[in-house]
Amino acid sequence: MAEKFIRNHEFNFIRKQVDVIKDSYKKGSDKNVINAVKDSAYSKIIDLFPNAADNQLDVLDLSRLKTEAEFDHYLENASSFLLLFPNITDQQIKKMFPKNKKLKMPNLDSIDLESITYLSWTDIGTNKKFLIYEMNKKLVGIECRYNLLSRNNVCSFCNTHGQVAFISSVTKAKKINNPDYYKAIGNYICFDSSICNQKMTSVNYLETFIKEIFQENG
């Protein structure tokens, strides 16, 4: 079995490209158009994996796919190369939020580690949303306040329209001369992180958001 190499959001991206190709078949586009769509999809996909080995490129190659069954098989095969979100224990989570003495814990058993780019859960009682993400091989935790909005909006993380909450971070980025200062960084993000994780095709925004929070602000 070859090494796993596809992250959740990359898989979402691949699925989206497959949908584009399927669409051009459904529209009855001619062969040249379909081939051009396939070429473009493939080049966008392999751009995500600049260091892909030949056997990995084979997994990603979709030039020969035509039927619905072939597309399904392609995605199913690609999904067997999905990387897992790092296994994390309750103890590790508590350590990530040392100031929160009444930390509400996520139900880790209910989370499919193959299907998330970031781990998130909410504490409705205190209006807090927690995020954990692996950045540069290190797990980072972020505690945010949230306000659920009555109107749908575009989520900054997955860039799609849906039920969003306005979140502002309350962790890290302390001012050196004032340890109680918390930099507030606001964003609209999906209230339901499992939906967000299904739609996310890039981590650019998420990583920028995290970097900003952890940036020294002295």
Which residues in this chain contact Zn ion in the complex, by CB under 5 A?
Answer: 155, 157-158, 190, 196
Q: Which C-beta is closer to Zn ion: that of 59 or that of 155? A: 155
Residue with tokens 């609209």: 188
Question: Smallest distance from the beta carbon of 9 to Zn ion, in angstroms?
Answer: 11
Question: Smallest distance from the beta carbon of 31 to Zn ion, in angstroms?
Answer: 37
Question: Smallest distance from the beta carbon of 109 to Zn ion, in angstroms?
Answer: 23
Question: Smallest distance from the beta carbon of 217 to Zn ion, in angstroms?
Answer: 26
Q: Which C-beta is closer to Zn ion: that of 7 or that of 38? A: 7
Confirm if 148 and 141 have CB atoms less than 8 A apart.
Answer: no
Q: Which C-beta is closer to Zn ion: that of 62 or that of 190? A: 190
Q: Which C-beta is closer to Zn ion: that of 178 or that of 194? A: 194
d(C-alpha 78, C-alpha 194), whole Å: 20
Pairing of strands 128-135, 153-154: unpaired
Nearest to 38 by CA among 57, 62, 16: 62
Question: Smallest distance from the beta carbon of 65 to Zn ion, in angstroms?
Answer: 28
d(C-alpha 106, C-alpha 120), whole Å: 8
HSE-CB for 126 with a 13 A CA cutoff: 16
From residue 55, alpha-carbon distances to 2, 81, 95, 129 in Å are 8, 12, 40, 40
Q: Which C-beta is closer to Zn ion: that of 42 or that of 188? A: 188
